[in-house]
Amino acid sequence: MCICAGSGGVGKTTTAAAIAAGMAAEGSKVAVLTIDPAKRLADSLGLPELGNTERQVDPSLFDEAGVESGGGELWAMMLDPKATFDEVVRRHAPDEETRERILSNRIYQQLSSALAGSQEYMAMEKLFEIWAEDRYDLLVLDTPPSRNALDFLDAPRRLTQFIEGRALQVFLRPTGFATKLIGGGTSMAFSVLKRITGIDLLQDLSEFFQAFSGMVGGFQERAKRVNELLADDQTTFLVVCGPQGEPISEAVYFHRKLVEAELPFGGVIVNKVHYDLDEEFPADVGSLSAALEAELGDRDLAERVAANFADYSTLAQRDRRNVRRLANEMRTRAVIEVPYLDDDVHDLAGLAEINRYLFASGASERERIAAGR
C-alpha cells in the first residue's frame, strides 16, 4: 500500500494516478483512491466521474495512449466522505434505534463533514475496508487536500479523542447535560450557554453526541486497526512536493513527523522541477547573446532567447538549491525529481510520461534529460 502525502497544489493526485497506472502497466492489479472533492483523479484518468466504489479504467484507454497494459488492471475510486461516514455508522451502531437516531440527526446530516478530521478518517476507513477485502496487489491513496499534510496522520487520533473525550462524558452521565436540558437545567453554565446558542441547537447537539457514545467501542477498535495498518511494513508513505521554497519546507516538516510517528517513509517526489539544462551556461547574458546571434543570425531573437534562458536558469538554480536542501534535511537519497514538462498532464499518455521519471533509476533519468525530452 502506498500513501501519497503532501500539501495542496503539488501534483499529489497526478502522482498517485501515475504510480497506479505505472504499476498496472507492469502487470499488477492496482486501485487508486482519491478524496479530493474537486474530481481531479477522474480528470487524470479520462473518466467522466468516479463513485464511492472502485471502477475499472477502460483498458482500451491504455492502448489509445500507446501504453502497454502488461496484463494488469487499473481501478479507481473517488471517496465520498459522507457516504462512507453513513456506512461506518451502520457498521458500528449497536442497535437499529441508535443508527436511525444518528442518521436522522440534523447536525449529523448537515455537518458531519465538518467534524474535525472526519474527511481524513473516512479516507482511512475506506482504505482499510478495501485493503481487508484483499482484491488488489497494490492500493494507492491520494490524501485529502489540506493546508496541513499532518491533519491526515492525526485524523484517527482526533476522531477517537472526540468520541472518547472526557468532556463527552458530561453528556452521557445520567445526571449530565441531557438531563439538565430536559429538566430545565440547574447548571449556571448551561443557562449561560443557552443564551448564546439557542435551546434547539443545544438539543440537537446533545442528541448527536449521545448517539455517538454508543459507537465508542467499535470506533476505537477500528481506529486502532487503521493505525496498525499505517505502521505496517507493507505500507509506504511517499511525500510529494514542489520545488518552491514553501512546499520544500513543508515536505521536510512532514517527513520529520512521519519519522516521529514511526511510520514507514518510502521517499520524496519533487514535481515540476526546472532542471539545469547545462551546468556551464555562460554566466553573463551578453556573451550568450553574442554566441546565439552568431548561431541564429538574428539579433532580436538572440536577445529574447538569452533573456528567456536567464529567467529559466534563475528557476533551475532555485530548484537545485531547494532539492539539495530537501535531501540534506531528510538525510535521504530517495528523492525523485519529475521535470516541469512542456505539456500539461491530464490523461494516461501524460501519466506515462511522468512514469518515465518516477520509475527510472537516477542515471537513466539524467541520460534522458541530457538527450533532450
| SS3 annotation, 300-321 | HHHHHHHHHHHHHHHHHHHHHH
Q: Which of 69, 57, 67, 65 is nearest to 32 (CA)?
A: 57
Q: Which is nearer to another protein, 245 or 362 (CB)?
A: 245
Residue length of the chain? 373
**Identified binder of another protein from the candidate list 187, 213, 220, 236, rule CB under 8 A:** 187
Q: Dihedrals φ, ψ of 243, to 5°?
A: -85, -5
Tell which positions 39-98 bind another protein, by CB under 8 A. Answer: 39-40, 43-44
According to the binding rule CB under 8 A, does residue 366 interact with another protein? no
Instruction: DSSP letter for 58, please.
Output: P
According to DSSP H, which parts of the chain are helical?
12-25, 40-44, 59-64, 81-92, 96-104, 106-111, 118-133, 150-164, 168-172, 177-182, 188-197, 199-213, 216-231, 245-260, 285-296, 299-330, 348-358, 362-370
Q: Which is nearer to another protein, 182 or 307 (CB)?
A: 307
Tell which positions 274-313 bind another protein, by CB under 8 A. Answer: 277-278, 280-282, 287-288, 291-292, 294-296, 298, 301, 304-309, 311-312
According to the binding rule CB under 8 A, does residue 315 interact with another protein? yes
Annotate 107-163 with DSSP letters as a single string.
HHHHHGGGSTTHHHHHHHHHHHHHHHHT--SEEEEEPPP-S-THHHHHHHHHHHHHH
Q: What is the spatial distance between Cα 235 and Cα 139, in angstroms, rounded to a whole number?
A: 9
According to the binding rule CB under 8 A, does residue 371 interact with another protein? no
Instruction: Tell me the number of residues near another protein by CB under 8 A.
Output: 83
Instruction: DSSP letter for 52, please.
Output: S
Least spacing, CB of residue 111 vs another protein, in Å: 4
Q: Helices 216-231 and 81-92, interaxial angle, to 10°?
A: 120
**Identified binder of another protein from the candidate list 53, 56, 104, 110, rule CB under 8 A:** 110
Q: Which is nearer to another protein, 182 or 277 (CB)?
A: 277
According to the binding rule CB under 8 A, does residue 242 interact with another protein? yes
Least spacing, CB of residue 15 vs another protein, in Å: 13
According to the binding rule CB under 8 A, does residue 367 interact with another protein? no
According to the binding rule CB under 8 A, does residue 182 interact with another protein? no
Q: What is the spatial distance between Cα 45 and Cα 40, in angstroms, rounded to a whole number?
A: 9
Q: Dihedrals φ, ψ of 37, to 5°?
A: -70, -10
Least spacing, CB of residue 192 vs another protein, in Å: 5
Q: Dihedrals φ, ψ of 214, to 5°?
A: -65, -15
Q: Which is nearer to another protein, 166 or 331 (CB)?
A: 166
**Identified binder of another protein from the candidate list 114, 184, 260, 331, rule CB under 8 A:** 114
According to the binding rule CB under 8 A, does residue 205 interact with another protein? yes
Instruction: DSSP letter for 54, please.
Output: -
Tell which positions 135-164 bind another protein, by CB under 8 A. Answer: 145-147, 162
Least spacing, CB of residue 205 vs another protein, in Å: 6
Tell which positions 217-236 bind another protein, by CB under 8 A. Answer: none
According to the binding rule CB under 8 A, does residue 9 interact with another protein? yes
Q: Which is nearer to another protein, 9 or 217 (CB)?
A: 9
Interacting span for another protein (CB under 8 A) from 54-62, 213-221, 229-237, 337-345 = 337-345
